Amino acid sequence: MIIVNDIQDALMMRKKLMSIVRRSHNYGHSRATVLIELLDIVDDLQQNIERMEAEMEVEPLKTVKLLFRKGDPAGAGQPASSAYTRINGGWFGPDGIPDMEIDLDVISPNEADVFAEALARNSFFGPSSWYVNHENNAAFSAKVNSVAITKPVLFFHGEYDYVCQTATGTLADPMRARCSDLTEIYVKSGHWMAQERPIEVNSGLTHWLISNVGYWPEVARS
């Protein structure tokens, strides 16, 4: 069994899977074997997206508490938890959604209730749709692939975000190739960096606006 770095890898266009293989945990298996496994994961996700949504919708508050958590440096170099989804027969395995304490460094109890209520009302269909839209995303990308982005661009990397891992590996390379005026900032956080590290994020954004964009709003004085 091959465990890829994260669920994002499994959702890439089939034509790009060979580049994904170079970023996967192959544990000594051949690239051909890894490619077959990745294709299997893509097929499974497409066929079972409704099942996966239903799993999360059983108890939305538990799902929110599980997803909104700060990053852990101990996870570096390890497969993300989402890599085991197909092996476990679902996101949470036979025991269902664990009931975790709210991570107060990321989200407040009131915020968790608001998110859970909204997801219970609207379902997880919207958040899940991006992950089964990769063919349309790739078609759009192909149309604009040769277009250079010359405007100033700022990108924050979450060093402990192991599901969408851009701080290491090659996932961010296309952005670097296309953006001629790119600034990258590395934040020691997980996915929810604005909540987890607000000072670092706001400081980086402010410095970039002033130094790279030459913008800062005038302050009205009485």
Place of tokens 């661009």: 153
Q: Please give the full DSSP string across 91-117, using - where no structure is assigned.
A: SS-TT-S--PPP-TTT--HHHHHHHHH
Higher-pLDDT residue of 135 and 30 is 135
Higher-pLDDT residue of 57 and 16 is 57
Domain boundaries, the chain: 7-138, 148-213
Please give the share of the chain, as a percent, with pLDDT higher than 70: 76
Place of tokens 């909204």: 118
Residue 133, pLDDT score: 80
3-state secondary structure of 183: strand
The pLDDT tens digits for 154-175 are 999 999 998 888 998 888 998 9
Of 199, 153, 160, 201, nearest to 175 by C-alpha is: 153
Most confidently modeled of 14-23, 60-69, 136-145, 161-170?
Answer: 60-69
Residue 13, pLDDT score: 46
Compute the CA torsion angle 80, 82, 85, 88 (nearest 10 deg): 50
The encoded tokens of residue 127 equal: 């958040």
Residue 3, pLDDT score: 43
Integer Rg of the chain from CA: 19
| Res. 143 pLDDT band, cuts 50 70 90 | confident
